[in-house]
Structure 1
Amino acid sequence: MTDRFLKLLELSQAGFYCSQILLIIGLEAQGKENPDLVRAMSGLVGGLGFSGRTCGALTGGACLIGLYAGKGSVEEIEDSRVNDMIREFAEWFEQEASSQYSGSTCDIILEKNPQNRASRCPDLVLKTLDKVEEILEANGYDLSGRLEI
């Protein structure tokens, strides 16, 4: 088991889900904590409030890109490539999930069975983290271990 997988398992056992886990890892990599942001991410889990819609790994991955490249204050300037990065990620995610599960919604990925979370979500979240890292690095973000656990 990798350190990333163990961290994911630890956060999952603490009651966090896909989108929250991705942002917690991103925040920790920056040496930050933001319980309000993590709490807000709970709206994305389970396909938007466990409604089975858009997968929280997809929305969480997009938010993780935004954490690094988006605008967070009046003084900041959003990276002009942020939406291109998110689109690239979304296209990858759609292909990845569809090739593995025939679709990319939570209901399809989990076959409408929440018990499948344990066997399907960790791999998809880890792949999401890797892909987000790849996209950010390709766009000049020096992550040098910042998303490593």
Structure 2
Amino acid sequence: MDDLAFKIFKLSASGFCCTQIMLKLALDEEETKNHDLIRVAHGLCKGIGSTQKTCGVLTGGIGILGLYAGKGHEEEYTQENFSRMMDTFCEWFESEFGSTECIDLIGVTEFENGDQSYQVKCGDILVKSYMKVYEVLSEYDYEYGSRE
């Protein structure tokens, strides 16, 4: 757990947001890189487009589940357990943290003025959520770190 918290701290200190951190952790576990995916995830930062709406940790967790069970190309189908996995994670997230909205979780934050206080609040949410994604994948017989 401490190792995970340290990795999260380092990624945050490097300027990655919650959504990007969740996805980078998953890719690092596989020892792969996908810079385009991480760039795309930047739009989900700070509650989708910095609006403080849906939490970036939540969207990042759903993104990890999608890496394992979502549709990725024309010859592929979404795994039938994908919706159940998302439901499990989303229901747990709201129950665990009391909301799925960034503003409810970290309070009003003036990102444009350089307010970084949210990073401490998000750290615990990141650790717990990342561990829950791992748990959900295991429950549905996915080997975390290996999508082959």
Q: TM-score, normalised by structure 1?
A: 0.88
Instruction: Give the deviation of 1:76 after TM superposition.
Output: 2.9
Secondary structure class of the residue paired with 1:72: coil
Q: Is the 8 A contact 2:97 2:105 kept in 1?
A: yes
In structure 1, list runs of 5 or more residues that go unmatched.
none
Match of 2:103 among 98, 102, 107: 107
Task: List per-residue Cα deviations over 1:95-124 (Å, max 9, x = no partner).
Answer: 1111xxxx3311111110354412210100
In structure 2, list runs of 5 or more residues that go unmatched.
110-114
Q: Is the 8 A contact 2:12 2:119 kept in 1?
A: no
AA aligned to 1:46 is K
* Displaced runs of 4 or more, over 6 A: none
Measured in 2, the distance between the counterparts of 1:7 and 1:77 equals 33
Is residue 59 of structure 2 the alignment partner of residue 63 of structure 1?
A: no
Secondary structure class of the residue paired with 1:9: helix
Instruction: Give the deviation of 1:78 after TM superposition.
Output: 2.3
Partner of 1:31: 31
Instruction: Give the deviation of 1:142 after TM superposition.
Output: 1.8
Alignment of 1:13-24 (within 5 A): 13-24=13-24
Alignment of 1:1-149 (within 5 A): 2-98=2-98, 103-113=99-109, 114-143=115-144, 146=145
> Per the alignment, do residues 75 and 30 of structure 1 end up closer, same or farther by CA in structure 2, a change over 3 Å counting?
farther
Aligned residues: 141
Measured in 1, the distance between the counterparts of 2:26 and 2:121 equals 21
CA RMSD of aligned residues (A): 1.6
Measured in 2, the distance between the counterparts of 1:137 and 1:3 equals 20
Measured in 2, the distance between the counterparts of 1:115 and 1:72 equals 35
